[in-house]
Amino acid sequence: MGSYSSVAKWFHWITVALLAVAVPFGLVIEHIKEDAKMTFYMVHESAGLTLFFVALARLAWRLGNPPPPLPESIPRPLRTAAAAVHHSLYALLILQPIGGFIATNAWGFPQQGATAYLGFIDLPKFMETNEGLAGIVGTAHTIGGWAIVVLLVLHIGAVIFHQAVRRDGTLLRMV
C-alpha cells in the first residue's frame, strides 16, 4: 500500500495541530469572561487564518503530488465516503477562515490590536460594520464549525475502523 509523501504528512499533522487549537477555542469563546475573551478570539482567529494558508498550500501540493491510490481491497462505498469527507474538509478549511474573517470585520472587530494575527500583526480592515451581514456570515461560520467537528469525527472514526476492524494498514499511510 502506498504511503503519502513526507510533505503531505507534514501538512496533515500541522492541520491537525491547528484544528486542535481553533476548534476548541471557537467552541468556548462565547462562554469566556469578557476580560479574557479577546485573547481567545486572537488565538482562534490566528489558528483559523493559519489553517487557511496551510490548506491552500496543502491543496496546491496535493494537486501537483496526488495521494497514493487506496488499495483495491477497500470497497467502493468506503472510497466514496472517504472522498466526500476529504473534499468537504478541504472546502471547509478554506471557506471557514474566509467566513470568520468577513464576520469579524462585519462585527467591527478586524484582526487588529488585541485580536491581531498571531498577537502582533494587524490586518487591514476592509469593510465598515454591518451587523446584518455579520449575523448571516457568523451563523454560517458556526454551522461550518460544527460541520468540521462532524467531519473530524467521521474521519477519525474511519481511521479507527480501518485500523481496528479492517486491519488494512490505512493509518500507516499517514504516519
Rounded distance between C-alpha atoms, residue 115 and residue 120, angstroms: 8
Is residue 82 scored above 90 in pLDDT? yes
Query: Is the alpha carbon torsion for 50, 55, 56, 60 positive or negative?
Result: positive
The predicted model gives 98-112 an average pLDDT of: 95
The predicted model gives 131-149 an average pLDDT of: 97
Instruction: Classify residue 80: in a domain, yes or no.
Output: yes
- Number of domains the chain is built from: 1
Query: pTM of the entire structure?
Result: 0.92
Instruction: Classify residue 15: in a domain, yes or no.
Output: yes
Is residue 1 scored above 70 in pLDDT? no
The count of C-alpha atoms lying within 13 angstroms of the C-alpha of 74, restricted to the half-sphere facing its C-beta, is 20
Express each pLDDT in 7-44 by its tens digit: 999 999 999 999 999 999 999 999 999 999 999 999 99
Express each pLDDT in 45-77 by its tens digit: 999 999 999 999 999 999 999 998 888 889 999
Residue 90 belongs to domain spanning: 6-173
Q: The domain that contains 143 carries what CATH number?
A: 1.20.950.20
